[in-house]
Every structure is written in C-alpha cells, then in structure tokens.
Structure 1
Amino acid sequence: MKIIQNVVSDRGSKYAVSGGPVGTPDEARDFIKGLCRNKKFAKATHNTWAVLLPDAPLKNDDGESGAGMVILRMLEREDLQNHIIVVTRWYGGKHLGGDRFRHVQDCVRTYIEDMD
C-alpha cells in the first residue's frame, strides 16, 4: 500500500491519495478496510476509489458524488488494471464546487506519476 499525503490543500480541505494492487472485489474492499485501520483515514470525510478488474470496473464515491467516476476514467485512460486508487478528502468547512473534481484528478495524476 502506497500513501501520498498532503497532495492538495484548498479552503481548509486536505487531500491524500493511496493505492495498491488488487485482483478481486473482495481484495478491493480489504484494501479500503486496511486503509481505514489508520485512524486518520478512518476519520476522513471521503475515501473515494476505483479499480479496473477483468470482470468489471468498480468504484465508490463514499459521499463525494461523481469522484469515483473521475478516478475510473483516469484508470481507463492509463489502462491501469488490477490497481486500486483511493483519493481521501478531509472536509475543511467550505464547499469547493467543481474544483473538487480537479483536485481528485490532481491526486490520481500524482499517484500515477509516482509509480514510474
């Protein structure tokens, strides 16, 4: 499990990104459970994620409507299969509107670039 913290900070909201290899839906759920064993991530407002698996893609917005699809599209563009990416947000008290999608993209891009 790779975790990159403090990727984006905007109007009090803070973002981190994490990920790792998974091969099944159960492994994806186990990955999220493992991440949330860290109290900091368990207390996060949102842990949105996506993964491209052989049978079907999986995603979860965790209350951040549309964020899972943003991650999934980026995974598809990169053809990054069997690798979950989780974008974590700690809400800072101010709504970010459409900027939140740009921040999710920035987090995923940071993670993918760090894989090289």
Structure 2
Amino acid sequence: MTSPSLTCLGIVVTDRGSRYAVSGAPVRSRAEIDMALAALKTDRSYAKATHNTWAALLPTGALKADDGESGAGMVILRMLERAGLDDHLIVVTRWYGGKNLGGDRFRRVQDAVRAYLDTTGLAAD
C-alpha cells in the first residue's frame, strides 16, 4: 500500500503566539490515515507540535482525533460533512504559543480548514 499524497499548506493562522498549519490527503481507510499522519510527522516540526488534530469521512464511517485539543476533531469533521468531502483527511496542527485562546481556538481550527478547502478547490459550491 502506498502512502497517500499529503498536501501541506504550512502556517495559515496565528493567534496570540499560537500557530496553526493545515494538511490533508485523499484516504479510503484507517490504514491510509495512519500512513498520512506518519508521513506528516516525518517533519520534525510537525512531530513536535502541541496538537495534530484530524478528521476524515470514510465509507466505513467518520473518524476523528483531538490529540489533546478537546473538541477540535469534531470541528474538522463537521466542516468535512458540510463540504460533502468524503474520503479525505484534514489535519490541523497547532503549536501552542503560551496563551490560552478559549473558544477562539475553535475559530482558528475553522479558519485553517477553510483555508485548506479554498486553496485546494475542495470547498462545496
């Protein structure tokens, strides 16, 4: 099985010292999700990030992980559902900047996912 082709946009949002990057790849199974995450983390910066939250809508159902950023996986999942984007993984990476963002952290996750959907042309019309 070959690794999914990962698109990394790099840092797309900053807020009070925290930096957010977004990445994604077409996937069809949990194994492909795991391969894409492993490929992302071969970059030392992403491997050392505070959080790599992700979600994907697969034929077998929805999958998500918060990676310590409680609720962020659900934010990504809901955006994938609204966009009608099946068989695709989106990962939002956060490097914590030292200040709690409260509810704004969800807006930054949304901003990152929107940037990915718009940049890749995958946004629902």
User: So what's the TM-score if we normalise by structure 1?
Assistant: 0.98
Q: Secondary structure at the match of 2:10?
A: strand
Q: 2:16 aligns with which of 11, 20, 23?
A: 11
Query: Do residues 55 (structure 1) and 60 (structure 2) align?
Result: yes
Q: Secondary structure at the match of 1:64?
A: coil
Query: Do residues 21 (structure 1) and 12 (structure 2) align?
Result: no
Superposed CA deviations along residues 60-96 of structure 1, whole A, max 9, x for unmatched, are: 0000000000000000001101110000000001100
Query: Do residues 32 (structure 1) and 37 (structure 2) align?
Result: yes
Paired residues for 1:101-112 under 5 Å: 101-112=106-117
The residue that corresponds to 1:73 in the other structure is 78
Q: Which runs of 5+ in 1 are unaligned?
A: none
Q: Secondary structure at the match of 1:92?
A: coil
Query: Do residues 98 (structure 1) and 99 (structure 2) align?
Result: no
Q: Which runs of 4+ in 1 moved over 2 A?
A: none
Counterpart Cα distance in 2 of 1:11 and 1:74: 24
Q: What value does the CA root-mean-square deviation take over the aligned residues?
A: 0.5
Give how far 1:30 is off: 1.1
Counterpart Cα distance in 2 of 1:18 and 1:6: 10
The residue that corresponds to 2:3 in the other structure is none
Q: Which runs of 5+ in 2 are unaligned?
A: 1-5
Counterpart Cα distance in 2 of 1:113 and 1:107: 10
Counterpart Cα distance in 1 of 2:35 and 2:8: 16
Count of residue pairs brought into register by the alignment: 116
Counterpart Cα distance in 2 of 1:44 and 1:30: 18
User: Percent sequence identity over matched residues?
Assistant: 61
The residue that corresponds to 1:115 in the other structure is 120
Counterpart Cα distance in 2 of 1:29 and 1:69: 18
